[in-house]
Amino acid sequence: MTDQTKSNGKEIVIAKTFDTSRQKVWDAWTKPDQIEQWWGPRGFTTRVDEMNFEPGGKWTYVMLDEEENEYPSEGIFKEISEGKRLVTTDEFGNSDNNDNAAPEGLPTGMVTTVDFNGNGDTTSVNISIMHQSVEDREKHEEMGVVDGFNQQLDKLAEYLD
């Protein structure tokens, strides 16, 4: 597996190559029972609370740390191109807040695009996280998104093996 990460302006781009078919990577990324096996950085588990997998459909994931603290996030699928591309909004939630609004100071209005490019038994995944401002991108980086996402993708590689 190879990887690459870069930031520019309002965007963070993370790329990984997996030694498996595009269909296997796509299924792991889009099926709730598989998502729960690898999503989140090391030390976290994930529960999929909602997954309406269609354009306009909502998803809600809750990451849990080792002390069972909850870190919800949610979004709306904007584009689904079977086996090739996902585009979704991405918002932090607040498990202590009934309206699930993000805690103050966290980046908002992110759009994540994931492209899946396969060639036989090799699949590259290119993730673009677009922020509303450079400041929001910097906040997201300070939170550890790059390291966390790379850990998550390492967990995905282990799951796919």
Q: What is the per-residue DSSP string for 35-65?
A: HHHH-SSTT-EEEEEEE--STT-EEEEEEE-
Mean pLDDT by runs of 10 across the 161 residues of the chain is: 72 95 97 97 95 96 93 96 96 61 74 94 96 93 92 96 91
Structural domain that includes position 14? 3-160
Question: Which pLDDT belongs to residue 1?
Answer: 45
For residue 134, the SS3 value is: helix
Quick check: 115 and 85 in contact, CB under 8 A?
Answer: yes
Q: How many domains does the chain have?
A: 1
Return the bridge partners of 137, or none: none
**DSSP per-residue codes, 7-20:** EETTEEEEEEEESS
The enclosing domain of 86 has a CATH number of 3.30.530.20
